[in-house]
Structure 1
């Protein structure tokens, strides 16, 4: 994504690199002409280019432009439509808009096999499609595109060397941005509260009674992976 965004020529010298492979060679001078990963402004500039594309195409493709402005997170697009026809139209328009600036969308993963076949047939760049029966990582959440459900992953190790620091690290590793695991995580946070009341230092090993209690909690945490939340929650109003 970043390699498609040019910087102003007046700023080339701000991205000057001097380099040589050995002390016997003359020093070479290079200027990076595209925005560079790691610089403070790179995220804003790349995102701003996408928004500019949407603004320039808002009259011709109003719906697609709105989606581009609203549903992108850096270079990841998450959006949807009410029916297959609308979804196929959106996919084509969004692809056309972004391709104007070299932003070539790929790795499509729809929850409709018909839409995937449509994308495959019209795609001419041999893009790899990110399809897995276990689901895909979608901004930290696991989305099972076949069942159209949101799932969770955990990686908890149980040992006898738990400390207050490692307990907090374990709790923090459970990612639940929508708050869907709140009732479960609350138990973990209440346990963390007990550690504070014990006046334990960060690297003190847990007393046996607390270690056993935390081990029991850790044994139950992997069951989170069995939870499946329907992605689509629709409320129909009755008049």
Structure 2
């Protein structure tokens, strides 16, 4: 996720690294153009960018109700690059339109219906 967020040109001066291929080579300075992975501020920067994207782009959804739900879901249901949500029934879960890499559910019905997607094989029984 971090490498997908471009840093504004004006702020790249604050993201510099020094590099030498070998001890005899000259020291080079590079400015990083994306959010840097592994720094204490990286998760906060990534989440902030995601939330700003939701604010800036929710208007492209023509249905105002769906746009508000999408914006609020992005604003409140992400932990860094993991989307966590809960719905009342299997039908509601199956009608959501997300492009995701991995699913998990405590509903066998939902997991079966998602067969063909990258479905997590671990099924929790929350009883």
TM-score, length of structure 1 as denominator length: 0.43
1:79-110 deviation line (CA, Å, top 9, x unaligned):
121222211222x1x43xxxxxxxxx322112
Q: Which among 55, 79, 84 is matched to residue 73 of structure 1? A: 79
Long gaps (5+) in structure 2: none
Q: Which has the higher contact order (CA 8 A, sep 6+)?
A: 2
Q: Give 1:73 shift.
A: 2.0
Q: Give 1:118 shift.
A: 4.2
Q: Which among 99, 110, 121 is matched to residue 131 of structure 1? A: 121
C-alpha separation in 2, matches of 1:120 and 1:14 = 45
C-alpha separation in 2, matches of 1:120 and 1:8 = 40
Q: Give 1:34 shift.
A: 0.9
Query: How many pairs are equivalent?
Result: 121
Q: Which among 87, 93, 96 is matched to residue 93 of structure 2? A: 87
After the TM superposition, which residues 167-206 of structure 1 pair with which residues of structure 2 at under 5 Å, given as runs? Answer: none
Long gaps (5+) in structure 1: 96-104, 133-144, 149-229, 231-239
C-alpha separation in 2, matches of 1:108 and 1:116 = 8
C-alpha separation in 2, matches of 1:147 and 1:81 = 16
1:35-64 deviation line (CA, Å, top 9, x unaligned):
113435322221122222333326343333
1:111 maps onto 2:91 in alignment = no
* 8 A Cα contact 2:51 2:74, kept in partner: yes
Question: What's the secondary structure of 1:18's corresponding residue?
Answer: strand
Question: What's the secondary structure of 2:121's corresponding residue?
Answer: coil
Against the structure 1 CA distance between its residues 80 and 5, is the aligned structure 2 distance closer, same or farther, given a 3 Å change threshold?
Answer: same
C-alpha separation in 2, matches of 1:16 and 1:119 = 44
Q: Give 1:13 shift.
A: 2.2
Query: What corresponds to 2:58 in structure 1?
Result: 57
* 8 A Cα contact 2:5 2:35, kept in partner: yes
* 8 A Cα contact 2:3 2:37, kept in partner: no
- Root-mean-square deviation (CA, aligned residues, Å) is 2.6
